[in-house]
Amino acid sequence: MNLYSIYALHMSAVTTSVEKNREQLEDLSQWVRVRMRQNSGNLWTLEASELKRIAEYPDQIPAALIQYLNHVSNDQLYDDIYYTLDGDRVCSPESGVMRFDSAVGSFVPAEAVPEQVCRGIGMVSTRMNVLASTYKWTAYMMTDSYFTFNFVFFNPDQAETIAYLSMPINRDYLISGVIGPEIFRRFSNSEESGVLVYLDDWTRGQVLISNAESNQDISRDHDFISRFSGVLEDWNLKMRYIETPEVAASKASLVRNIGVLAVTVFTLIFSLIFLYLAAKRDRELSMRQASFLANVTHELKTPLAVMQAAGENLADGRVTTPERLQSYGQHIFTETMRLRKMIEKLLDVARNEAGQLTLKPALLQPEKLVKEHLAEQQGFLNQNNVQLDLSIEDDVPKIMVDQNSFETILGNLIENAVKYSPEEKYLGIRVYSDTKKVFVEVQDHGTGIPPESQKLIFDKFYRVEETLTARTKGHGLGLSIVKNLTERNGGAISLNSTYGKGSTFTLSFPIAANISFSNLNGQKINEEESKPEYV
Ligand code: ADP
């Protein structure tokens, strides 16, 4: 795009904006006309006979007319409503002009008829006489320079005028309450928009209202004009550029441009923050992975080194006494178990990430699950002098879980409880339920977890950077496996921990009777497979 085409684009924007201003002005005068004759649509359906009857029965007003009368009575734009049949001496004291009394909903004889009304009626009557031979509708509407809004009801078949409805207009309200605010709403302040719009009474040579600070000194020339044809014949709406259309167009788009700029800047800032957070998270993760790798390498090498040394000594035949043989065997066994545990954890994570972890949910009794698992862990608990506090509520309902998962979950939580309790090795296990869920709580009196770490400990590779954690062997994988398996089995895990005092992890699983057999965490469950294993 070259400079010339930018200029051409700008000029076409200016032309469009000038065109738009002209349309806005037309639209405004049209709006005023519609506002003045609001709700008068049904008057065109009135019949001559219905209208004539009103003179005799002033409280029997046809539905279409009463609807309109009620509307006008509530409209601040009109001061009063007068009705009179056509006759030789319309508006004379004998001619029977009536006034609509909105409190009783009927016409009452008008005590005094404002001169303004009679002049209005006179004017539309004259106009109708001129139109009579060609007019095809039952109502004719017009305002006059005396500020009455009038309807003539007409019988086109007989070319006969039937009656008049005349309403004095509240001129001040029309100017300051209707047209003024609308000029302002559409064109804003002339200082801001560079466009002056004003209501001009051309018969009196007077500016009635405008979008300028003051109406005084407004010269009455214009660039565009719009008329209120058929309604306010004495008035026009006029528009003048007080700045060149180019400047006015730029001013008009200023607010929009600022808006677009603000949104762009906001989006940019938001994207930068997002990028920063994503980069920070990535960096933390790679740091954790690096420390995990170092940790794992060490963890893998240590048992291997122990086993290698023990194996060498045994192979050399240097170890002969039964006690030493037993101790070497014990070493090899313990290290093999450690290695195995670790490899299993790594495999769990890898399988889960590859989407290859298959679950076999079955109906199981939490009490039996927990007790059997504790029996298996007895050796480990004794070795560590753990003080076990087990409490299981009677008749805890069955849950639908994969047994291997449950064991891994509980195993990890118990291992952590023991591992992170350097002094008092207390292990509280509670099993209970409410109407919807079964809860399994694992509590310790260990180090506890600092509040800022509590959300993070379920993340892969995360370890609390406190001295004890640094000294305690681990890889930051256990809790991420626990959370993942719990959720895949339809459960949830929560943590309540006080730093320095201890932690309680609470698992919750839905009661089996409350869940459908068809789906558990996206897995189809075969009913055969889900047969209760404990009865
Ligand atoms: P790790 O192999 O490091 O134990 P986990 O994923 O099991 O990995 O735990 C993540 C971290 O959460 C641990 O490094 C430890 O800082 C903290 N943690 C877990 N369980 C406990 C607990 N019962 N008491 C105190 N801290 C705990």
Walk along the chain (535 residues) and give the pLDDT tens digit of each residue. 565 566 666 566 666 778 888 999 999 999 999 999 888 888 888 888 899 899 889 989 999 999 999 999 999 999 999 999 988 677 776 778 999 999 999 999 988 888 889 988 988 888 898 998 888 888 888 887 768 999 999 998 888 899 999 999 999 999 999 999 999 999 988 888 889 999 999 998 999 999 998 887 788 889 999 998 878 888 999 999 887 777 766 666 677 778 888 999 999 999 999 999 999 988 888 887 776 677 677 777 878 888 888 888 888 888 888 888 888 888 898 888 888 877 887 887 788 777 777 888 999 999 999 999 999 999 989 999 999 999 999 999 999 999 989 999 999 999 999 999 998 899 999 999 999 999 999 999 999 999 999 989 998 878 888 756 667 877 788 898 899 999 999 999 999 999 999 999 999 999 988 765 544 444 444 444 444 333 2
Span from the CA of 348 to the centroid of ligand 1 (angstroms): 17
Q: Rounded to an integer, what distance in angstroms lies between the CA atom of residue 475 and that of residue 452?
A: 19
Span from the CA of 365 to the centroid of ligand 1 (angstroms): 28
**Protein residue with its CA nearest to atom 16 in ligand 1:** 464
**Ligand 1 binding pocket includes 474 (Cβ within 6 Å):** yes
At position 260, the amino acid (one-letter code) is V
Which helix (H) or strand (E) covers residue 493, if one does?
strand 492-498
Span from the CA of 400 to the centroid of ligand 1 (angstroms): 27
Using most ligand atoms within 8 A of CB, pick from 463, 493, 506 the residue to mutate for ligand 1: 463
What pLDDT is stored for residue 519 in this prediction?
A: 45
**Protein residue with its CA nearest to atom 19 in ligand 1:** 416
What pLDDT is stored for residue 497 in this prediction?
A: 96
**Ligand 1 binding pocket includes 417 (Cβ within 6 Å):** yes
**Ligand 1 binding pocket includes 62 (Cβ within 6 Å):** no
Q: Which of 178, 297, 192 is nearest to 228 (CA)?
A: 178
Q: Tell me the CA end-to-end span of the chain in Å, nearest whole number.
A: 81
Q: Rounded to an integer, what distance in angstroms lies between the CA atom of residue 296 and that of residue 441?
A: 30
**Chain centre distance of CA 161:** 59
Q: Rounded to an integer, what distance in angstroms lies between the CA atom of residue 14 and that of residue 513?
A: 72
**Ligand 1 binding pocket includes 449 (Cβ within 6 Å):** yes
Q: Rounded to an integer, what distance in angstroms lies between the CA atom of residue 33 and that of residue 295?
A: 84
Q: Per the structure block, which two tokens stand in for 398?
A: 């069955």
Cβ neighbours around 351 below 10 Å, total: 12
**Ligand 1 binding pocket includes 143 (Cβ within 6 Å):** no
**Ligand 1 binding pocket includes 120 (Cβ within 6 Å):** no
**Chain centre distance of CA 27:** 34
Helices (H), 317-365: 322-353
Residues paired with 240 in a beta bridge: 196
What pLDDT is stored for residue 289 in this prediction?
A: 75
**Protein residue with its CA nearest to atom 8 in ligand 1:** 476
**If DSSP codes are grouped into helix, strand and coil, which group holds residue 198?**
strand
Residue 111's φ and ψ, nearest 5 degrees, are -70, -45
* 286-292 long-range contacts, CB within 8 A, separation 24+: 288/460, 288/461, 288/462, 288/463, 288/476, 289/461, 291/461, 291/463, 292/461, 292/475, 292/476, 292/477
**Chain centre distance of CA 270:** 18
Q: Rounded to an integer, what distance in angstroms lies between the CA atom of residue 154 and that of residue 152?
A: 6
**If DSSP codes are grouped into helix, strand and coil, which group holds residue 355?**
coil
Using most ligand atoms within 8 A of CB, pick from 427, 429, 479 the residue to mutate for ligand 1: 479
Q: Rounded to an integer, what distance in angstroms lies between the CA atom of residue 78 and that of residue 233?
A: 18
Instruction: Break the chain down into helix, strand, coil percent, rounded to 5.
Output: 50, 20, 30
**Ligand 1 binding pocket includes 416 (Cβ within 6 Å):** yes
Which helix (H) or strand (E) covers residue 163, if one does?
strand 160-168
**Ligand 1 binding pocket includes 464 (Cβ within 6 Å):** yes
Helices (H), 354-476: 366-383, 403-419, 467-471
Contacts of 113 (CB under 8 A, 6+ apart): 82, 91, 97
**Ligand 1 binding pocket includes 17 (Cβ within 6 Å):** no
Span from the CA of 448 to the centroid of ligand 1 (angstroms): 9
Which helix (H) or strand (E) covers residue 243, if one does?
none
Residue 328's φ and ψ, nearest 5 degrees, are -65, -45
**Protein residue with its CA nearest to atom 21 in ligand 1:** 416
**Protein residue with its CA nearest to atom 14 in ligand 1:** 463
Span from the CA of 463 to the centroid of ligand 1 (angstroms): 6
**Ligand 1 binding pocket includes 478 (Cβ within 6 Å):** yes
Q: Rounded to an integer, what distance in angstroms lies between the CA atom of residue 148 and that of residue 176?
A: 17
**Ligand 1 binding pocket includes 475 (Cβ within 6 Å):** yes
Residues paired with 333 in a beta bridge: none
C-alpha triplet 311, 313, 314: angle, nearest 5°:
65
**Ligand 1 binding pocket includes 512 (Cβ within 6 Å):** no
Q: Per the structure block, which two tokens stand in for 361?
A: 């949910």
Q: Write down the residue that tokens 């960096």 correspond to.
A: 283
- Minimum-distance ligand 1 atom for the alpha carbon of 417: 23
For residues 98 and 58, the answer to whether their CB atoms sit within 8 Å is yes
